[in-house]
Amino acid sequence: MANEVCFRNMDQDRPWLLEQYRSRGGYEVLTRILREKTPPESIINEVKASGLRGRGGAGFPTGLKWSFIARNAPGQKYVVCNSDEGEPGTFKDRDVLRYNPHQLIEGMVIAGYAIGATRGYNYIRGEFWEPYERFEAALEEARAAGFLGRDLMGSGFDFELHSHLGAGAYICGEETALLESIEGKKGQPRYKPPFPAHFGLYGQPTIINNTESLASIPVIMEKGGQWFKELGVENSGGSKLFSISGNIKNPGVFEIPLGTPFAELLEMAGGMKNGSKIKAVIPGGSSAPIIPGEQMMQLTMDYDAIAKAGSMLGSGAVIVLDDRNCMVKVLERMSYFYYEESCGQCTPCREGTGWLYRVVHRIETGHGRPEDLALLDDMTTKIAGRTICALGDAAAMPVQGMLKHFREEFEYHITHKRCLVS
């Protein structure tokens, strides 16, 4: 069972058009909610019942997040969609924006209705120019059709939605840095608490959810939370988009029920390229610790199974590596990314990411020292958990994962000044 939620329209021709979306019952859930004046609590309860967990990477229960908002408190509230998809290996939200923008819009309007917000922003990654244009076009269609604007369908409920294009900083995918960026400030995460539910955009109560999470809402409201939940497995309700890439035949985005064996996903992606041997998998975006291939082949794709294996399901970005990859080189590339993308406000991350990269770089280029692995081990414990946002953890975890599973490659590099592989 695939393509039930965000990709349920993938069989259509030009599925991003309003006409196509409506031909399959699009915006009917919203229309019903507005007509029947469905109590917001029941929407939130339905989302809770669905077991939907944040699809951006942290996996926080979406319904619970919504329930933190003081819905009836006076003042402006906001719905913000995080389409800043920047985690290396992740490219699923791009396809939601490209192929199913109306489902996202409908989800955001329902979210706004549920929490009493009349304004929403979709923060789109700076490099997503084409998806941005397509989403903008969908906004125009929705406005013209009366699904956005004042007094929607005579219900008295107003909702306006704007998209905002980022400028290329990975950190702006962190939800509070994203809010700062929308406000026109430098994208730097805020110290929490207070969380956005209390002090969000412009200091007002705000829910901020991932693109895929919000695009799942109309389906959950149409078919029921229980239906959604049963798509998946215990503690991992629903189906999920996985962006799979690496040394495989057909990289791409696949919607599969949570709990599907990894082996099946790999099969869907055409298996290993040129029949090479799987060496390792990064199961949830570059911040997730790496898992050896053999172990991965036994795992199912759900939150608990991956966590038990010492990694994270994260954003569902699966990077598959075959045995021709030098793990030192892989880590060097990843460490460079975090070094480049640290916002610079917290000391351990600002100084530590650069140091991590330099040490890995020196091992890769044959200048490693015997004490370097202990230094890396120690440094990661001083970055992880010591910073305002999770970028510090994200920089530390790949190093820890690599040194746990592929330490001998690093030792070989230091001793022999060259790669163990190739």
Partner 1 sequence: MSDDQMVTIQVDGRELKAKAGTLLIEVTDAAGINIPRFCYHKKLSIAANCRMCLVEVAKVPKPLPACATPVNEGMQVYTRSPLALAAQKGTMEFLLINHPLDCPICDQGGECELQDIALGYGNDASRFVEGKRVVPDRDIGPLIATDFTRCIHCTRCVRFGAEIAGIRELGATGRGEHMEIGTYIEKSVDSELSGNIIDICPVGSLTSKPFLYSARAWELVQRKSIAPHDSVGSSLNLHVRRNQVMRVHPRDNEAVNECWISDRDRFSYEGLYSADRLTRPLVKKSGNWVETDWQEALEAVAQGLKRARGTSGNRLGALLSPGATLEEFYLAQKLMRGLGSENIDFRLRQSDFRAEEPAYPWLGQTIAQLDELNAALLIGSNIRKEQPILGHRLRKAALTGAQISFINPLELELNYHATQLVNSPAGMISDLAAVAKALGGYGGLIDSAEVSDVHHRLAEQLRTAERATVLLGNIAVAHPDYALIQGLARIIAGNSGSLLGYLPEAANSVGGRLAGALPGNDGSNAQEMLSNPHKGYLLMGVEPGFDCWNPARAMETLGQAEFVAALSAFRSQSLEQVADVILPIAAFAETSGTYVNAQGEWQSFSGAVAPAGESRPAWKVLRVLGNLLDLPGFDQVSSEEILAEARQVAGDRKPDNSADGGVAYERLLAGVGLTRIGDVPIYALDPLVRRAASLQKTRDAIEASSRINAREAAMAGLADGDKVVVKQDKNSAKLRVVIDPTVPDGCVRIPAGLVGTDTLGGQIGDVTLEKA
Q: Total binding residues for partner 1 by CB under 8 A?
A: 29
Contact with partner 1 (CB under 8 A) among 152, 220, 343, 394: 343
Is position 366 an interface residue for partner 1 (rule: CB under 8 A)?
no
Contact with partner 1 (CB under 8 A) among 309, 354, 404, 412: 354
Contact with partner 1 (CB under 8 A) among 32, 37, 358, 407: 358
Q: Interface residues for partner 1 in 97-136 (CB under 8 A)?
A: none
Is position 347 an interface residue for partner 1 (rule: CB under 8 A)?
yes
- CB proximity list for 158: less than 8 A, separation 6 or greater: 118, 149, 150, 151, 152
Q: Interface residues for partner 1 in 321-340 (CB under 8 A)?
A: 339-340
Q: Which two tokens stand for residue 80?
A: 């913000």
Is position 351 an interface residue for partner 1 (rule: CB under 8 A)?
yes
Is position 400 an interface residue for partner 1 (rule: CB under 8 A)?
no
The minimum distance between CB 40 and partner 1, in angstroms, equals: 27
Closer residue to partner 1 (CB): 227 or 336: 336
Contact with partner 1 (CB under 8 A) among 25, 156, 270, 344: 344
The minimum distance between CB 394 and partner 1, in angstroms, equals: 13
Contact with partner 1 (CB under 8 A) among 341, 363, 394, 414: 341
Contact with partner 1 (CB under 8 A) among 382, 407, 416, 418: 382
Closer residue to partner 1 (CB): 73 or 167: 167
HEC-encoded secondary structure of the chain: CCCCCCCCCCCCCCCCCHHHHHHCCCCHHHHHHHHHCCCHHHHHHHHHHHCCECCCCCCCEHHHHHHCCCCCCCCCCEEEEEECCCCCCCCHHHHHHHHCHHHHHHHHHHHHHHHCCCEEEEEECCCCHHHHHHHHHHHHHHHHCCCCECCHHHCCCCEEEEEEECCCCHHHHCHHHHHHHHCCCCCCCCCCCCCCCCCCHHHCCEEEEEHHHHHHHHHHHHHCHHHHHHHCECCECCEEEEEEEECECCCEEEEEECCEEHHHHHHHCCCEHHHCCEEEEEECECCCCCEEHHHHCCCEECHHHHHHCCCCCCCCEEEEEECCCCHHHHHHHHHHHHHHHCCCCCHHHHHHHHHHHHHHHHHHCCCCCCCHHHHHHHHHHHHCCCCCCCHHHHHHHHHHHHHHHCHHHHHHHHHHCCCCCC
Q: Interface residues for partner 1 in 148-207 (CB under 8 A)?
A: 169, 171, 186, 191
Is position 70 an interface residue for partner 1 (rule: CB under 8 A)?
no
Contact with partner 1 (CB under 8 A) among 54, 348, 368, 398: 348
Q: Are 369 and 414 in contact (CB under 8 A)?
A: yes
Q: Interface with partner 1 by CB under 8 A: which range of 10-18, 157-165, 207-215, 385-393?
A: 385-393
Q: Interface with partner 1 by CB under 8 A: which range of 32-40, 264-272, 315-323, 374-382?
A: 374-382
Contact with partner 1 (CB under 8 A) among 166, 289, 352, 398: 352
Q: Interface with partner 1 by CB under 8 A: which range of 83-91, 259-267, 305-313, 375-383?
A: 375-383
Closer residue to partner 1 (CB): 34 or 384: 384
Phi, then psi, of 70 in degrees rounded to 5: -80, 90
Is position 386 an interface residue for partner 1 (rule: CB under 8 A)?
yes
The minimum distance between CB 365 and partner 1, in angstroms, equals: 13
Residues that bind partner 1 (CB under 8 A): 169, 171, 186, 191, 339-355, 358, 375, 381-382, 385-388
